[in-house]
Amino acid sequence: MVRYGVRIGGFGGQGIVTMAVVIGEASALFDKKYVVQTQSYGPEARGGASKSEIVISDEEVDYPKVLAPDVFVVMSRAAYLEYVHGLKENGILIIDSDLVKVETELPKGVKVYSIPATRIADQEVRSKQTANVVMMGAFAAITKAVSIEGLRHQMEERWPKFVKINHLALDLGIKAGEKALEAPS
């Protein structure tokens, strides 16, 4: 990995920015990578399409924006339609299959991984608020762009009162990611 661009999209309130921050912190502080994280969301913020981007690199990052993401993790239809453009050929698209359907033509060679993150968070973790943690686990399992140990460490630092529930959500996300790797869409 020299430079790896990640775009995460969803709607305000899903923890899209927090997801990117935790992945970025884990990559920088635990995995010792160079990282830049940026974000944008509309004026409606909560409920509107939002995105956050991360550049992870083995070398210093000279430009902080993700122009053509290697990976797009998406958790809402609106964010999919707004931000899917520019995904690299042979890139990776990870969708929350409970909320997103692939509705556009994708660049050549893009692998699509469907993760029922909202359903896992609701039915297995019993907390819809952990859907972003489920997706972080799937992202780590599918891409290997961030260490699972680093994610665990940063989640413990950030949310010490919710270690047990977040570890469960992360583990279920990793399991879903590993299962998706066996049969990409």
> By CB neighbour count within 10 A (0-12 exposed, 13-18 middle, 19+ buried), where does 129 fall?
middle
Q: What 3-state class would DSSP assign to 89?
A: coil
Domain boundaries, the chain: 3-182
pLDDT at position 19:
96
Q: Would you state the pLDDT for residue 49? A: 83
Residue with tokens 């993760």: 115
**Pick from 22, 56, 29: which is nearest to 155 by CA?**
22
pLDDT digits (tens, 9 = 90+) for 20-68: 999 999 999 999 999 999 988 665 555 678 899 999 999 999 999 998 9
Q: Which of 3.30.465.10, 3.40.50.920, 3.40.920.10, 3.30.1490.20 would CATH assign to domain 3-182?
A: 3.40.920.10
pLDDT tens per residue, range 75-130: 999 999 999 999 999 999 999 999 999 999 999 999 999 999 999 999 999 999 99
What are the pLDDT digits (tens) for 136-184?
999 999 999 999 999 999 999 999 999 999 999 999 999 999 999 998 6
Q: What is the pLDDT of residues 24-33, one digit of tens each?
A: 999 999 999 9
